[in-house]
Structure 1
């Protein structure tokens, strides 16, 4: 599975199907001269055959120029620091001298950036040497019944781990699918994607390795030279076990199973593991010893495990010896309850509990003292004195004959208390009791450690799950901001486009309005020039004209019509004149008939003016209106461009918020990872201390029980026996 979190947006890669489609035309899709025109291995349907993995698809291609066959890995998912990693790995492996390696396990590979075209874009590939070999599990399917061959392969695997360890290289995913066995029964190591080399120190891993070969203690921040230690022991145990007992392959392995003998569940729950129990109880000491080590390794951090290359003596044994003496693991507990090889590989930890005391509790009395001689002489004298007193008839009321015996008992008790052995025994018991009180009770300490570890693991699981969710949330917010900016831009541009499209109609309306205004002004001017007094309507004399003028009605422009009104007092119909503002006036002498005459006269003047009114505006007036429309078009065009600029600014702000959020999340996740790494180291120290504490507790308990037994050997009766027998 992939881990690691880039701080920026991840590049999107094509799918395996897209690569397969592109590889139908290698002359067009490849840039590299040796791959250009290469022939891909095809399926029955005539399509390039792909071997798909977690984040890549591998194709077999035969070069048209050299005839060399290559495995070409095409990436389908983002790999953090991809180019840097492959260049560092390629550089490190290139420096290895093949003559100094135990076997030709390393394969040549080359990272080619921008090597394959899929659609319009170029993508990187890995060009690797193709090897004719079978996976380790397939080899075991065919050869597990040959103990000598399997044991020899175990030795070669151990030698391969020596090569890696000597050059500070870790593969990162040692498992049956990445260990190929060639025709000469030597290993070829493939899939270097998660490999660690010293140049990559400080980076995180890109994968966690196959779950059936990895320690339950392996975390996302484990990326160093110790990556392979647990999986190396898993594979070595499996090979040695099958070499010792070929029937174990059929008994513990499943056909096509993604494991050898043990699975992830066996490591997570050793107590409930049937497979591990089978190996632990196996009569062969190699198998049971290695299984016992694996059981303890499952709860140890990777950096505390011993490298297989250092912990296993270099050997080359026959198959017959492999069942009994090829490897005798030092798995029996030694000091501190740890396997004998482990103390040299553990980091020093400050001891919080006292060391086991070198107590010297005597197991009996030794060498009589003068007081012992006195006590020994006193008893016979006391017995004789008591007999004489009985014979003499001393009264019993005052203890009589018992006084000498009581005196002998008290004296003997006193001399016993003065023995050095009694003081040594009491001091040893007091020391052991005091030291045992200072040591944590193992069961409670182990329960607390498990509880703290479970709480930490749960918190880490939540954190690891929350980090991609937080990234997804940032990405969702970013896309929402982009969508909002685009929606706002489209809406504003649509409004601008609508206004731009309407400018032609606006021009037509403006020209029509200008003409209408010009015609209306002409008509008003003509109406204002026609005086009622100079050309009076029919029936309007100078007197009525004067009255009309007195009310402000001098020309045809001063009124717009008339309105009939009912004169109630006279029961007749009169009229009022309507002025341009809508106000009405009543002029004495102007009745309905004269009002009609005035209205007819005015309409005639309007008709005459309308006939003579202009039919077009002047070129200057038209040019002025058109210039206004041109100016409006330029303003709208500028506003439309401003909308695009505003959208670009919104997108840039959204991008900046995304990158700042991703950088903040990355910093927080890195800091949390550092804290988690420190906490794991603390758990490691506590685990070692707990083992030491457990062993010390057991040692002190056993020593205390021994001291109590030895104290019982210093009883009163044994002391009396010592006085006369000497032991």
Structure 2
């Protein structure tokens, strides 16, 4: 079965649906179903017909009075809505006039149609059919040989309808084949139906085990799904029609099969029922049983359709109607056994044997035209002799006229013979047939070439698959190695940083102490005003001038710089401010600048002498806490490195698994394609074998026709005119 494409919805159980259907006015929104009356059990509960995927309830609409079968799903089915819409559209396009019987039912897929608990779920609203299952019908009617044989014909017509329209039910069995009151079939349960619009999707079920080929797999889904089931059911119906006692001998009361079951197909040699059918006196029963036995272990797509072996019009009788058919025709019926020769429709072209048979090798029964030609020759000879006697021999041309006329009359009479037309027609038919068949030698050479090409491709694939697996594995190990290298590098860097935290602590403490001491000195300098304790030689006037330039405390300048006054060749001084600028204060010469500098240095020395020599406890704790946080961060980073490495390993493992799954999937698909191609080669080989035999038969028949045509030559015709053969 194909995997679902999305999350699977949890569907209610059959009991939950039955509980909800006690209140159809509340659980349904659809106007035809809202308030509908369900069929009830003796306990007053809605009656359910439960299956593997759904429960079906009978509801009578309160709005229209119409009775419906409502299917409530209990299990998830992939692409459920798409499948039902495709099936519904396909069945709606069928022309009932072209069908053998009205077997298809109308239905409507209703999403979110029924409320169960807090959820909304889809239902399938189907036309209600009054009928009984095939097994129930046989239980009541198996003694009526004519009715059973007629039902077999109608079943074959149903399978023919499906095959013509490329539809497969997917689960042909007694429970899904209802027999209506007019003894025609109604096909129910379209859950696993295949229509061409669903090509490419997977199957949703494997069908009833007692009707399916042992070769059917979960993923089989196509137009050939029903072929084995059709042969099994047709065999059962034909066998019961031929011998009603088989029903009681091989069918079990309430058994989930007709005459044969799963074990009969899996182990034909040990099957009592199959042996009984193979030894049955009726030729048709024996042949059908032999066919089912042979089909049980053939691929589904190689099974012949039932319609291929059953003529369009077959008399409704239990007797076997055997009409001899040439072996070349039987060989072209898709590998059917020889017993089917009397049931195989004639080919669309005449057979070689038939064509050769209608190619005569001699003339028969003279006509009036032949008599005239026979009489004309003696007359022509007599006239020629008379003309010679009369002396007309000099006129040679005139003397030969009677003989020429006789010869021309003979040619004309020969050309009008039916044997000549039949011979030409037979040779034309044989030549046409021979031209339609591919040259067996060329076809065999092409088949060998294609097989060799496939074998080479398969050999390359077999060698490439382990190489691709090795590449994916090597990439996985390379990713693991890189992850470990990256992990070791990051851990080494982190450990180095952790080891350096002690030095960072010492540096941070020293820097904090230096900053604290510098701040103390700056504070002391900013507190010593020049005007309050002026240096030697600095009076109030100079102090005011210094203040005007922003120099009020010892902190407002850092020293002095001597300058030369060129006009007078004298030395002056400027004070250096904290930002590097200089201030030229009137009245401050070199001597007073030196005095200011000495005064400032004395203030600095006094401040340095009183500066703190260690950090306070809170200050040191703050620094130690910062280093502790840094240590914790680095420790977390080291742990994260291991986590990242594990994530990298998991990602590498995921890529390895995905790569291996992709390679396995691609290899499986390639293997499936190769098997399909080999199956196609098998089919081509069978066709080649048939065509080779037919080509030889046609060639022999054509050569025979040519030899026979020599018996219709001109001399043979002249002989026929007088001898009669």
What TM-score does the superposition give when structure 2 sets the normalisation length? Answer: 0.48
- RCO (CA 8 Å, sep 6+): is it higher in 1 or 2? 1
TM-score, with normalisation over the residues of structure 1?
A: 0.48
